[in-house]
């Protein structure tokens, strides 16, 4: 069964429409705003057959109290929350070596949104997170992800350790990011079936998650800070993987 999601912000609503306009249920716009971007977006909503209601800024803020709505809120028919069985079916359908991102108990919706956006840009096949003690696809996530929350396959599994064992049984190499890891990023091998695992803000990967990883790698840090934000670290690791995988595919023979 699908779920109804409220999405706020010009870019986030535009991205949702671009991904699948048939899922737009109803929209509310600030009647006092007449700027060109909002006028154009209203035309796009109406052109997609989405009913548009005029409202005011305070009413929109009540609909999405934690999101800067920028004068527009969209009710969007999102996909049902996807879990273990959906992930297995998704992996079965892949005709190439899997490229996955695992987020271990990431709770900040801004970080999840940024990770989804980066994962989409890097061509990741799926993002996996535990169902408990981790953020799901909230309105803030949709806004920050700028369309990637709709496009990127996102799975919330009931038991992350069991999921990791299942990935290893499929021949997928698990690499975790850890500040104290002995192997630097420059020596990591990200070709072949790969799942990159990153931990929660401040805490990093949990012990059990680390133990299931085949290897741990560290991002070199030259400044005074000890670690990167999880979404920034995801970008560094994912695009190093993109670089290696592209070079591997282009290599002769």
140 burial class (0-12, 13-18, 19+ CB within 10 angstroms)? buried
CB of 213 closer than 8 Å to CB of 175 = yes
Of the candidates 54, 69, 76, 66, which has an alpha carbon nearest to the alpha carbon of residue 9?
Answer: 69
Gap between the Cα atoms of 115 and 234, Å rounded? 7
Report angle CA 172, 176, 181 to the nearest 5 degrees: 135
CA 89 to chain centre: 19
Gap between the Cα atoms of 229 and 21, Å rounded? 33
Is 45 flagged in the annotation as binding? no
Gap between the Cα atoms of 93 and 242, Å rounded? 21
Is 147 flagged in the annotation as binding? no
Strands 154-157 and 173-177 come out as unpaired
Phi, psi of 238 (to 5 degrees): -65, -40
CA 46 to chain centre: 28
Length reported for the chain: 253
CB of 156 closer than 8 Å to CB of 129 = yes
Is 228 flagged in the annotation as binding? yes
Q: Residues annotated as binding site for S-adenosyl-L-methionine?
A: 199, 219, 228
Q: Residues annotated as binding site?
A: 199, 219, 228
């Amino acid at each position: 069964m699908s779920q109804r999601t409220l999405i706020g912000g010009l870019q986030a609503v535009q991205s949702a429409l671009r991904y699948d306009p048939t899922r737009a249920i109803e929209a509310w716009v600030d009647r006092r705003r007449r700027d060109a971007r909002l006028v154009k977006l209203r035309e796009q909503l109406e052109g997609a057959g989405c009913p548009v209601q005029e409202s005011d800024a305070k009413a929109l803020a009540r609909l999405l109290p934690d999101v800067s709505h920028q004068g527009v809120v969209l009710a969007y028919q999102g996909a049902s929350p996807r879990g273990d069985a959906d992930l297995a079916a998704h992996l079965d359908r892949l005709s190439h070596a899997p490229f996955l991102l695992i987020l271990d108990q990431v709770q900040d919706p801004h970080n999840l949104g940024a990770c989804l956006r980066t994962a989409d840009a890097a061509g990741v096949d799926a993002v996996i997170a535990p169902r408990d003690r981790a953020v799901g696809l909230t309105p803030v996530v949709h806004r920050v992800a700028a369309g990637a929350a709709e496009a990127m396959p996102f799975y919330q599994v009931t038991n992350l350790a069991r999921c990791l064992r299942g990935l290893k049984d499929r021949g997928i190499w698990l690499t975790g990011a850890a500040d104290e890891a002995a192997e630097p990023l420059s020596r990591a091998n990200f070709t072949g079936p790969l799942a990159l695992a990153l931990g929660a803000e401040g805490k990093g990967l949990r012990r059990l998650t680390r133990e299931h990883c085949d290897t741990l790698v560290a991002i070199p840090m030259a400044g005074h800070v000890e670690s990167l934000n999880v979404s920034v670290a995801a970008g560094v690791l994912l695009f190093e993987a993109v670089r290696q995988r592209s070079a591997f595919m282009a290599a002769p023979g």
